[in-house]
Amino acid sequence: MAKILFVEDEPALQKALGDFLRGAGHEVLAALDGEQGLAMITRQHPDLVLLDLILPRLHGLAVLEKIKADRSLASIPIIVLTNVESSDMVERAIELGAKAYLVKADYRLEDVLEKIRGVLGDKV
């Protein structure tokens, strides 16, 4: 079981993926904007972060940049989960250290879980 933080401003997506991951035995924390997400990462030290990019208050890439710049948080794996799919965004996210870049509309809940398992490896 892993502690997963899902930073996503859309409550319906929070509920669908949150419930699904809880059903698979994970502890899921929710943040509804970039600032809240960053604060929760610092406070809670999750095992993995699912990060949307278009977020209120603080853009997802800025959250990613701040996490990777902080030594105590840099090792937390981050999966970008967004609907924006421009090549510069993908490149920037991977350059900043994201483990994967997933387009929500193209992934089923099971596929997202599969990716999480792949990233967490032995931790699950």
d(CA 87, CA 53): 14
Nearest to 81 by CA among 55, 56, 44: 55
d(CA 52, CA 80): 6
| Kind plus residue range of the DSSP H or E element containing 119 | helix 109-120
Q: Which is nearer to another protein, 13 or 119 (CB)?
A: 13
Q: Which of 12, 71, 72, 122 binds another protein (CB under 8 A)?
A: 12
Q: Which is nearer to another protein, 7 or 67 (CB)?
A: 7
Q: Which of 62, 73, 109, 124 binds another protein (CB under 8 A)?
A: 109
d(CA 86, CA 4): 26
For residue 61, the minimal CB distance to another protein (Å) is 16
d(CA 49, CA 47): 7
Q: Which of 29, 30, 73, 84 binds another protein (CB under 8 A)?
A: 84
Interaction residues for another protein, span 85-104 (CB under 8 A): 85-87, 103-104
- Interface residues with another protein (CB under 8 A) are 10, 12-13, 16-17, 19-20, 23, 83-87, 103-106, 108-110
